[in-house]
Structure 1
Amino acid sequence: MTKVMIEWLDHQNRWRHYSSSHHEPTAYKTAQTRAERTGKRHRITSEEGSLIDVFEP
């Protein structure tokens, strides 16, 4: 089972860790919902560091 990381982009253009999950569909929903609520970009990366998806507010 692979782990996915949810990160958000702060005002200094640095990616900050928010959460991690073993269930990718839940990570998608969490990142998308949080991007809409906070107005900040969020992304999902794999455990190895490869980009899976980016969510715009």
Structure 2
Amino acid sequence: MTINIEWQDQFGRWHHYQTKQNQADAYRVAQRRAESTGKRHRLVDSDGRLMDLIG
């Protein structure tokens, strides 16, 4: 299963950041980047379903 990490800009649009194969690793990456950038991040599976929202 592929997991896409996306981030939200100030206008509410979501942008692709990275694709991962491991859910735990994707969560760690998104959480660290959300803390460092101050922006919302989300994990979306290959079918487009929301898995997690961070920030």
Same-fold status (TM-score > 0.5): yes
Unaligned runs of 5+ in 1: none
- 2:2 alignment counterpart: 3
Normalised to the residue count of structure 2, the TM-score between the two structures is: 0.98
Q: Which runs of 5+ in 2 are unaligned?
A: none
Query: Is 2:52 aligned against 1:20?
Result: no
Aligned residues: 55
- Output the TM-score relative to the length of structure 1: 0.94
The list of structure 1 runs, each at least 4 consecutive aligned residues, that deviate by more than 2 angstroms after superposition, is: none
Percent identical pairs in the alignment equals 44
Aligned residue in 2 for 1:45: 44
What residue in structure 2 maps to residue 55 of structure 1?
54
